[in-house]
Amino acid sequence: MRMQEYFPEGTLLETAENRELTSSLAGLERAMATRRVVEGVVVRCDEDLTLHVDLCGIHAVIAADEVLWRRADEVRKDIAVLSRVGKAVAARVVGFEHRGDETVAVLSRRLAQEDCRREYLSSLRAGDLIPARVTHLEPFGAFLDIGCGMVSLLSVDSISVSRISHPRDRLSVGMDLTVAVKSVDPLDGRIYATLRELLGTWKENASLFSVGQTVTGILRSVENYGVFVELAPNLAGLAEVHGEKHAAELRAQIGRGVSVYIKNILPERMKIKLVLIDSGFPAPKPKSPRYFIDCSSIAHLSSWVYSPPEARKLVETRFDAPFDGI
């Protein structure tokens, strides 16, 4: 049993307990005595990179070297300090300073991260389900806060079964997710995350559609033999193209919305045949994912089979497989 729950930064900010602890010096003293993590919003960064934090009206500071935990071989990145302005931070109360008539709380985000790493992250194993918040998007993946600002990478190929060109096709900064631990690097403890295993199997997604329906989707890629249309994050179908001119027109519309007629659904081949009806309209903006498992009651996945029983090809994830460096 963990001593304390650790969450992505901002999760505790508006909770009753955090407001109680941060609204008075007596509350902050209790937080210091019990090593509780508190949250506030950074309102200013000085020239010496000291962060000034608002704790329900009480002034607090975090010295530059106390902003984040880092490994012995890492150097401090000042941009990581500057970028906290305007954002919530999770920190431990480590003392108080008297500045004139004002008592200022002294905080350490680094200590909160050390506690999070030791008491929570070090116990995680592949297949564990954990809360996360999207903090940054790059072409190769999304960076997640998985507790007190500690970072995990969700690679672009782990976001969904349906291929996307950029994480922004599916996610947005600030979005709250439940993800599974994909792997833990045995050398440095880095945690890698995956989302696709929570978004339903082929059969679960295909059951949402039926032959004869006309539905909307997103054009994801154009090949010589057809176009792939995303019907759901874990489900895509194939529509024919009519000549190179038609294919060239569609390539200019990748990422945009299309309407398609569902011609056939073939579980044994994990294929959905489509007929393209219309294309070129705006695709919907990213929204919180639909989970096909109860994330509130399931804490761990040992394996996940995407392909239906009758399929010729087995597509699965085994979380007990050796670390692969991804």
- Could you tell me the fold of the domain covering 124-199+295-318? OB fold (Dihydrolipoamide Acetyltransferase, E2P) (2.40.50)
What's the CA gap between 52 and 41, in Å, rounded?
A: 8
The β-bridge partners of 228 are 221, 238
Tell me whether residue 309 is exposed, middle or buried, using C-beta atoms within 10 angstroms of its C-beta: 0 to 12, 13 to 18, 19 or more.
exposed
Q: What is the mean pLDDT of residues 126-151?
A: 97
Residue 259: Cβ within 10 Å count = 16
93-97, 220-224, 266-270 — which is least confidently predicted?
Answer: 220-224
pLDDT at 225 over 90: no
Q: How many helices (H) and strands (E) does the chain have?
A: 6, 17
Residue in the block written with tokens 């979380």: 319
What's the CA gap between 250 and 253, in Å, rounded?
A: 5
Per DSSP, the three-state class of 267 is helix
Note the pLDDT of residue 1: 31
Note the pLDDT of residue 4: 53
Note the pLDDT of residue 2: 38
pLDDT at 120 over 70: yes
Q: Which CATH architecture has domain 16-119?
A: Beta Barrel (2.40)
Q: What are the structure tokens assigned to 253, written together?
A: 């519309």
Domains 16-119 and 124-199+295-318 share a fold: yes
pLDDT at 326 over 60: no
CB 120 within 8 Å of CB 128? no
13-27, 58-72, 192-206 — which is least confidently predicted?
Answer: 58-72
Note the pLDDT of residue 30: 97
pLDDT at 20 over 60: yes
- Could you tell me the fold of the domain covering 202-281? OB fold (Dihydrolipoamide Acetyltransferase, E2P) (2.40.50)
What's the CA gap between 9 and 40, in Å, rounded?
A: 9
DSSP E strands in the chain: the ranges are 37-45, 51-55, 58-62, 88-99, 102-108, 129-138, 141-145, 151-155, 176-184, 191-194, 214-223, 226-232, 235-239, 257-266, 271-281, 303-305, 316-318
Q: What is the CA angle 17-23-28, rounded to 5?
A: 80
Note the pLDDT of residue 325: 61
Tell me whether residue 155 is exposed, middle or buried, using C-beta atoms within 10 angstroms of its C-beta: 0 to 12, 13 to 18, 19 or more.
middle
Note the pLDDT of residue 236: 97
What's the CA gap between 286 and 177, in Å, rounded?
A: 13
CB 21 within 8 Å of CB 67? no
Q: How confident is the model at residue 76 (pLDDT cuts 50, 70, 90)?
A: confident
Q: What is the mean pLDDT of residues 21-44?
A: 97
Q: What is the mean pLDDT of residues 221-238?
A: 94
Domain boundaries, the chain: 16-119, 124-199+295-318, 202-281
Over the stretch 148-200, which tens digit does the pLDDT of each residue have? Answer: 999 999 999 999 999 999 999 999 999 999 999 999 998 888 999 999 999 99
Q: What is the mean pLDDT of residues 105-121?
A: 96
Per DSSP, the three-state class of 244 is helix
Note the pLDDT of residue 3: 41
Over the stretch 291-308, which tens digit does the pLDDT of each residue have? Answer: 999 999 999 999 999 999
- By DSSP bridging, strand 235-239 and strand 271-281 are parallel
Residue 32: Cβ within 10 Å count = 19
Over the stretch 234-255, which tens digit does the pLDDT of each residue have? Answer: 999 999 888 788 888 888 999 9
Over the stretch 39-65, which tens digit does the pLDDT of each residue have? Answer: 999 999 999 999 999 999 899 999 999
